[in-house]
Amino acid sequence: MPAADVYAWHAGRGAFERLVPPWQHLTMIERRGGIEDGAVLVFEYRSGPLRGRWVAVHQDNAAGKQFVDRQVHGPFAYWQHTHSFIPQGAEASILEDHVEFGLPFGGLADVLGGVSSRRALERLFRFRHRRTRTDLLRHADVKKTRRLKVAVTGATGLVGRDLCAFLAAGGHEVRRVVRGARIDEGDIVWDPALGRLAAASLEGLDAVVHLAGETTAGRWTAARKQRIMASRREGTRLLAETMAAMKRPPKVLVSASAIGFYGDRGGVTLTEESEPGSGFLAEVTREWEAALEPARAAGVRVVSLRFGVVLSARGGALARMLPAYRAGVGGPVAGGDQWMSWVALDDLLGAALAALTDKRLEGPVNVVSPEPVTNREFAHTLGRVLRRPAKMPLPETAVQQVFGEMGESFLLHSQRVRPEKLEGAGFRFDYPFLEEALRFELGKTRG
């Protein structure tokens, strides 16, 4: 990748968020400028019992070559990080990170904490360099596509936060579609419960990505199931009908969906052509996808991304599993023969970009790894990555008693799903195999 491209990616909004690994607790609270001299980043950090504010200022910027960030307030006695972009011919470069730091209190702290701090930095930069490379290659795959203007609902959710950062760092203009009191410049306001979304707010956009919806985690009471259904059906219909009524609507509407569409299907291999299954999740996803019809009928290219189990240490299923597995009490559920179709978060983001830019993708698209595993394989692999035993079984009766219908749907149902449309479009999975995906997400990458 040319040095200028790597530098430009770092200069883009969203790059900082993409470079924070899941195990680091850093939250951006203020940004003044980009990476030019004098630009300031302010974020909150948490490390064990320590919490505080970190303020960094950028300096010594040389466009396409380097920039430096220096701590002016934060947890270190001093910190200076030089990012260098070194050309290796016209189409390749080396990204070099040079960090100088000192621990607070000096002397003994440097001796006791220096080695562990260096190991933590090596772990951090292995993650950062790999994500930088994969993100750049993803955007290079569609570099002939002009800069897109994209609105994103559910922008503060698990997938939405990373998708907004991923698109923005790639040079696209991202506008969040939000509810509530906190409105940033450029945000689009809507209220799906009241049917409020001004068509004028979508004028000039190229695409809309719809990720909003009530969380499915937690016990499914009758009221909760009603909210889950309504949030997906009514919000999706509002978007689709608003776009259908526009003279010049965005050209593409990409909506989240789920492989729950297929129901509990044992070991049968499922593709986008497979029939829907039964159960609450299957009913929800059918309604969810049907609500897109007004936009499709108006000539908008509509894509329903049927997500598998999303692997993210920040939230979702993996984050809920980690405490038990780290304590050595994880293991297979109900014998572990049921199939799990999963997807690495970074591959999901790549699939969303493909859906925005590849006109061959339309209708339902399975977003899952081409290598599904059984629940037993998943448990053993996660235990191996964490270096913990993973032999503590969770009986089916315990799932039903503790989690109810929700637990049955997510832990007991079997779905062996294939990403046939993505593969047919030549999509490249960066993390097709479970162990590699888990090692990257958890910072356990070797070498």
Give the pairing of strands 50-62 and 40-47. Answer: antiparallel
Give pLDDT, residue 176.
95
pLDDT on residue 48: 77
pLDDT at 104: 79
Whole-model pTM over 0.75? yes
Q: Helix or strand or coil: residue 174?
A: strand
Contact indicator for 52, 31 with CB cutoff of 8 Å: no
- Inter-CA distances, 362 with 259, 277, 297, 321, Å: 16, 21, 13, 34
* Mean pLDDT of successive 10-residue stretches along the chain, which has 447 residues: 93 93 90 94 87 94 95 91 94 94 66 68 94 95 83 95 96 92 82 92 96 90 93 95 96 97 96 96 96 97 98 93 94 95 98 97 98 97 96 88 84 96 97 98 86
Given CATH 3.40.50.720, say whether it is the number of domain 149-442.
yes
Sign of CA dihedral 312, 259, 417, 370: negative
pLDDT tens by residue, 170-211 = 999 999 999 875 677 789 999 998 999 999 999 999 999 999
- Sequence-ordered list of residues with C-beta below 8 angstroms from that of 340, at least 6 positions apart, any chain: 308, 309, 372, 373, 374, 375, 378, 415
> Domain residues of the chain, as ranges?
3-141, 149-442
What's the pLDDT score for residue 335? Answer: 92
Pairing of strands 188-189, 50-62: unpaired
Residue 204: CB atoms within 10 Å: 11
pLDDT digits (tens, 9 = 90+) for 209-256: 999 999 888 889 999 999 999 999 999 999 999 999 999 999 999 999
Class of domain 3-141: alpha beta
Measured CA to CA in angstroms, residue 174 lies from 12, 80, 208, 221, 314 at distances of 12, 31, 10, 36, 22
